[in-house]
Chains A and B, each alone.
Chain A
């Protein structure tokens, strides 16, 4: 494998890794925040009878 091909495959590797981890992070923390907001809303609704 020459240097050029290696560089390209490194970049492909980095991009795939970034996509996989990036998507996991976004999904995990969006779910986390949605759950937090939902539970706060429910508690407030219970407290004030909305």
Chain B
């Protein structure tokens, strides 16, 4: 009797207990299918109007006509990138066991996350400004779209996987999962920064 009860509830139990896994795997699959199919092209063509509009906004007009303003914003974009990078390195190095082994990981992670969020906000706002100024150019650059892909992946990964996971008692999590999360996070954020730099070269 007890067996049949367990069997009858199992589908609901599976969905309920693996909701996050199923959602994330579905999302990853959707992104991959989108990225490697013709759907990407359709959306890309549709987005052209939006990028043209970006150049006509205040940000776009200032960015295009006032080179010095663009350069200053660019410098602050880099400074915020350094701050964000510092927070990512400290947190992920702690997860890998390379830094502050004597300080509770949770302490390092929480404090690093605060710095990360500040860095992210500045990077995003300066980034949007810059994107408006050169919207007509970046639209045509594959590296810009790779950067957006990496950036979206990074943000979703941090807020929907990394933070919720690391909020738990770290001792309960398998050590290699912790290390995998750290490596993935380092890889994503370094890629975001590197592809960002390449936008400048690719457009010139």
Question: Residues on A close to B: CB < 8 A?
Answer: 1, 9-26, 29-30, 32-33
Q: Is the CB of A23 within 8 A of B180?
A: yes
Q: Which residues of A contact B157 (CB under 8 A)?
A: 21, 25
Closest residue of chain A to B164 (Cβ to Cβ) is A14
Determine the residue in chain B with the shortest Cβ distance to A26: B184
Residues of chain B in range 97-112 having any CB-CB distance to chain A below 8 Å: none
Q: How far is the CA of A11 from the CA of B181 in the complex (A)?
A: 15
Say yes or no: A22-B177 contact (C-beta < 8 A), given A14-B164, A30-B187: yes
Question: Between A and B, how many residue pairs show CB distances below 8 Å?
Answer: 74
Contacts of B183 in A (CB 8 A): 22, 26
Q: Enumerate chain A residues within 8 angstroms of B16, measured Cβ to Cβ.
A: 9
Question: How distant is the Cα of A22 from the Cα of B188 in the complex, in angstroms?
Answer: 10
Given A11-B173, A18-B161, CB of A29 within 8 Å of CB of B20: no
CA distance A21 to B16 in the complex (A): 19
| B10: chain A residues within 8 A (beta carbon) | none
Q: At the interface, is chain B mostly helix, strand, loop or mixed? A: helix
Report yes or no: A20 in contact with B21, Cβ–Cβ below 8 A.
Answer: yes
Closest chain-A Cβ to B173's Cβ sits at a distance in Å of 6
- Which residues on A sit within 8 Å (CB–CB) of B153? 25
Interface-central residue, B17, B168, B173, by most chain A CB under 10 Å: B17
CB-CB under 8 A from B150, the residues of chain A are 29
Query: Are A11 and B172 also in contact (CB < 8 A) when A22-B177, A26-B183, A32-B191 are?
Result: yes
Q: Is the CB of B146 within 8 A of A17?
A: no
- Kindly list the 5 A-B residue pairs having the minimum CB-CB distance in the complex, ordered from nearest: A9-B17, A25-B184, A22-B180, A17-B21, A22-B184
- Would you give the shortest CB distance from B105 to chain A, in whole angstroms? 15
A18 touches B165 (CB 8 A): yes
Inter-subunit contact B168/A21 (CB<8 Å)? no
Q: Using CB atoms, name the residue of chain A closest to B18.
A: A13
Q: Is the CB of B21 within 8 A of A24?
A: no
When the two chains form their complex, are residues B146 and A20 in contact, meaning their CB atoms are under 8 A apart?
Answer: no
Q: Known: A29-B188, A30-B187. Contact between A14 and B161, CB under 8 A?
A: yes
- How far apart sit A25 and B24, CA to CA, in the bound complex (Å)? 12
Interface centre among B153, B168, B180 (most CB of A within 10 A): B180
The reply to whether the CB of B28 lies closer than 8 angstroms to some CB of chain A is yes
Interchain residue pairs with CB less than 8 A apart (8): A12-B18, A15-B173, A16-B21, A18-B161, A18-B177, A21-B157, A25-B187, A26-B183
